[in-house]
Every structure is written in C-alpha cells, then in structure tokens.
C-alpha cells in the first residue's frame, strides 16, 4: 500500500516538474513581414553569415530561437546557427560577441535545417545563461535563400552584419556589410518559472520605434521592459514588440492587425497581457466622408481583440491614440475620430484598463499636437512619430500595477 502511495506521489511530483520545465515564455519577438525591395539585404544571404542583435526582456537558463519563412516563395536552408552574448553593439563595431558564451543551435539533432515555404520553426532548447535585458547575437550561416522573397522585419532599428562564408562563431566579423533590418529570425523563448509571463504589444510605427535611436533600444516598449525588469513585483514580466511600421487595423503595410492578431498575439508562448495601440494609420487614411463608419469599425475591432484575448486568459489593455496635429494626417474630421476613439477607450468596459498615451505626450494647450520637445526633427511635417524623449514619456506613463498578478 505504502509502495503504491509513494509511486503515485513520485509521478505527481515528476508531472509538476515537467510542467514547470516546459513553461516557455517569449522574451523577444518581431512581427514577420514580406521584405520590400528597398529593404533587401545589401549583400546576398546565400552562403553568407548574418549576425543579428536582439535585446531580451526576461532572462532564463534554456532558450530556443524561432525562424520564419512564412512569406518566402522558396525554401530557406540554414547550415549552421549560433547564439552568443554581445560584446559590443552598433554600426561602429563589427558585430562583436563574447566567444565564451557561444552555443550552437540544433534542429531535431542536426545543425542544418531546411525551412519550407510558408513554414516557421523553432530550434531545439539549448542551455544558455541569459540575463534579463541582455543583448544576444543570433548568427546564421545560410545555404540557399531567395534574394527577392525574404521574410523579415524592416524596422529593426538595430544593426545587422553580413559577411561571406561561415563565421557564425567568430568573435568579430571583418569586412562586413551592414544593414538596419532583421531577417528570418522572429522570436526567442526562455524556459521559465510558472510565474514568468509576457506582455504582447500590437501596434504600428510608433510602437515599432520610428524616431528612436538605431541600436539604442529606446522605443517605448523597451522603456517599459526596463522598468518591469527593475521593479521587484514585475521582474518576471517580459515585453514582446509586435509593432509594424505603416501597419493599421484594417490595411497598411504588413498584414493588417485584424489578420495578424491570432498569429502575433494569441500564439505567443507565455503571453499574459495585451496592449493594443493601433488605429492612427486607419484614421489618417480615411476620407472625411467615411469617418463616422471608421469610428464604428475601429471600436468593433478593439472589442474583438479584447474578447479574443480574454478568452485565452490574457488581460487586455487599450492605449489612447497620440496627437498628430501638424502631420499630413490631421484634419478636423480626423481629429474628431481620434478624440472619439480615445473617449471610448477611457470609458469602455471591454478592456481591462486603459493606458493613456495621449495625456502623457500631448501639448496641454493645443491638445491636438504632442509637446514640441518630443519632435524627432528629421521631417518638418512629421508630427506623428516621437523622439526618444517622447518614447521615454510614453514608457514611463504606464502603471506597472497593471502587470502584477
């Protein structure tokens, strides 16, 4: 009798251990897109090493990497892929890594894998001591890969390095070509404690970080990740930035939010929270005559996002749309939609709460513009995207108590 009880207890403990060990959480991700011709890599990826740098949010001891060929028209061959902690970053360097941390990735026991057209795969887990907010280098030596049909993320705001031949373990990459885009790599997951979770942000170029510093990691989701990591009650919460430049709820660049929501939000391992910050490109592109219909459609889409997220056990938060006075998007009718959307976001009962980015950055006098100190300065008519100070204000305005269990 006692033998049976002990055996049952052992099985129970083993099941709990396995459950904990198999809790995967996305610590970093980017929304995959079909790369446009203007954002192709500056040198052929075939038979070359591509080293890309990524900043994690939460840490872990075992990690796996996701690679996507979802938009490719041909298969992609990875002959070798490695991970390492960065030893230097930015366009001034040559893609330096710490060789002592270098680890090879495998795929079903092999160092080589062929990713079929339309497929996304993950590497096998690898032991890797990943600290929170660490910079990781993912180095890929490609075999065959199309030069004109590539899955990637153009708005990386991070320098990547390309060099001919297999140099995945090299401490630095001499004679490199450089580009500020990500290709093929779309996610990193950590094997985490049951308490570890992630926030998934779906958004457009303001979330993707246009106006932020290349290699600076100063987008507003980066600021949020830093605050979470250094706050004791939220240190186990990561941030996954699913922003796409030019994206919209119903149209725009990349798959529209209504089409990519399940893939980019609901399919993220370990997702516990959702922030929806989209709609400005829909507003900017609508005619004044169709403005009332767009308002109804936006509210319906936000409601759908919140309902779907909460059905999966996520807490859902809506973020108010920031001002765009001075930008080509501005008109009296467009501003009226923005104000109506924001009023709904502040008072609705569909979302679990609101993040008021509008209040955080708007000019308190005009209300239709954001504060002049947040202007990025590269285009006199921009007044839509913000500079790092503006993104700092946005990230600082988020109540961290929203992410406390």
Phi, psi (degrees; rounded to nearest 5) at 24 = -100, 140
Do 323 and 358 touch, CB atoms closer than 8 A? Answer: yes
Do 379 and 391 touch, CB atoms closer than 8 A? Answer: no
DSSP code of residue 370: B
Do 174 and 163 touch, CB atoms closer than 8 A? Answer: yes
The string of pLDDT tens digits covering residues 220-278 is 999 999 999 999 999 999 999 999 999 999 999 999 999 999 999 999 999 999 999 99
Burial 125-134 (b: 16+ CB within 10 A, else e): beebebebbb
Do 51 and 105 touch, CB atoms closer than 8 A? Answer: no
The string of pLDDT tens digits covering residues 301-317 is 999 999 999 999 999 99
| pLDDT score recorded for residue 90 | 64
4 has a pLDDT exceeding 90: no
The string of pLDDT tens digits covering residues 374-385 is 999 888 889 999
| pLDDT score recorded for residue 174 | 84
**Separation CA 379–CA 292 (nearest Å):** 30
**Neighbouring C-beta atoms of residue 286, cutoff 10 Å:** 23
For residue 21, give the nearest of 62, 49, 54 by alpha carbon.
62
Mean pLDDT confidence for 358-376:
97
**Neighbouring C-beta atoms of residue 301, cutoff 10 Å:** 20
**Separation CA 338–CA 143 (nearest Å):** 48
Domain boundaries, the chain: 26-187, 193-403
Residue 392 CA, chain-centre distance (Å), reads 17
93 has a pLDDT exceeding 90: no
Residue 399: both structure tokens together: 């109540």
356 has a pLDDT exceeding 90: yes
User: Which range is least confidently modeled, 3-12, 133-142, 351-360?
Assistant: 3-12
DSSP code of residue 321: P
**Separation CA 183–CA 235 (nearest Å):** 29
Topology annotation, domain 193-403: Rossmann fold (3.40.50)
Phi, psi (degrees; rounded to nearest 5) at 128 = -160, 125
150 has a pLDDT exceeding 80: yes
The pTM (predicted TM-score) of the whole model is 0.93
Phi, psi (degrees; rounded to nearest 5) at 88 = -175, 155
Q: What is the dihedral of CA 259, 333, 307, 253, to 10 degrees?
A: 20
**Separation CA 120–CA 287 (nearest Å):** 38
Do 71 and 32 touch, CB atoms closer than 8 A? Answer: yes
16 has a pLDDT exceeding 60: no
91 has a pLDDT exceeding 70: no
């Amino acid at each position: 009798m006692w033998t049976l009880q002990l055996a049952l207890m052992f099985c129970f403990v083993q099941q709990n251990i396995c459950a904990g060990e198999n809790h995967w959480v996305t610590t970093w991700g980017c929304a995959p897109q079909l790369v446009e011709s203007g954002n192709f890599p500056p040198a052929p990826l075939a038979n070359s090493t591509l080293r890309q740098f990524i900043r994690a949010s939460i840490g872990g001891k075992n990690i796996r990497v996701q690679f996507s060929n979802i938009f490719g028209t041909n298969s992609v061959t990875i002959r070798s892929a490695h991970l390492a902690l960065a030893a230097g970053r930015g366009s001034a360097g040559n893609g330096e890594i710490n060789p002592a941390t270098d680890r090879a990735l495998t795929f079903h026991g092999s160092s080589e894998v062929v990713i079929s057209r339309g497929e996304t795969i993950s590497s096998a887990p690898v032991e890797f001591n990943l600290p929170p907010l660490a910079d990781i280098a993912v180095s890929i030596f490609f075999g065959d890969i199309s030069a004109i049909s590539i899955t990637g993320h153009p708005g990386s705001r991070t320098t990547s390095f390309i060099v001919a031949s297999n140099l995945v373990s090299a401490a630095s990459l001499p004679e490199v070509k450089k580009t500020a885009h990500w290709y093929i790599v779309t996610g990193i997951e950590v094997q985490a404690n049951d308490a570890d979770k992630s926030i998934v942000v779906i958004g457009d170029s303001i979330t993707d970080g246009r106006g932020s510093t290349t290699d600076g990691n100063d987008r507003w989701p980066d600021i949020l990740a830093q605050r979470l990591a250094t706050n004791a009650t939220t240190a186990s919460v990561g941030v996954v930035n699913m922003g796409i430049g030019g994206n919209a709820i119903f149209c725009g660049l990349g798959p529209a939010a209504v089409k990519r929501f399940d893939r980019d939000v609901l399919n993220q391992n370990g997702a516990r929270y959702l922030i929806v910050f989209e709609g400005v490109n829909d507003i900017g592109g609508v005619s004044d005559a169709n403005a009332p219909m767009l308002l109804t459609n936006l509210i319906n889409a936000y409601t759908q996002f919140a309902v779907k997220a909460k059905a999966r056990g996520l807490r859902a938060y809506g973020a108010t749309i920031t001002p765009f006075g001075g930008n080509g998007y501005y008109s009296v009718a467009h501003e009226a939609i923005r104000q109506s959307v924001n009023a709904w976001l502040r008072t609705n009962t569909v979302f679990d709460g609101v993040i008021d980015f509008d209040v955080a950055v708007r000019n308190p006098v005009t209300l239709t513009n954001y504060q002049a100190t947040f202007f990025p300065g590269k285009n006199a008519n921009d007044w839509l995207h913000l500079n790092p100070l503006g993104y700092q204000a946005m990230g600082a305005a988020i109540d961290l108590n929203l992410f406390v269990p």
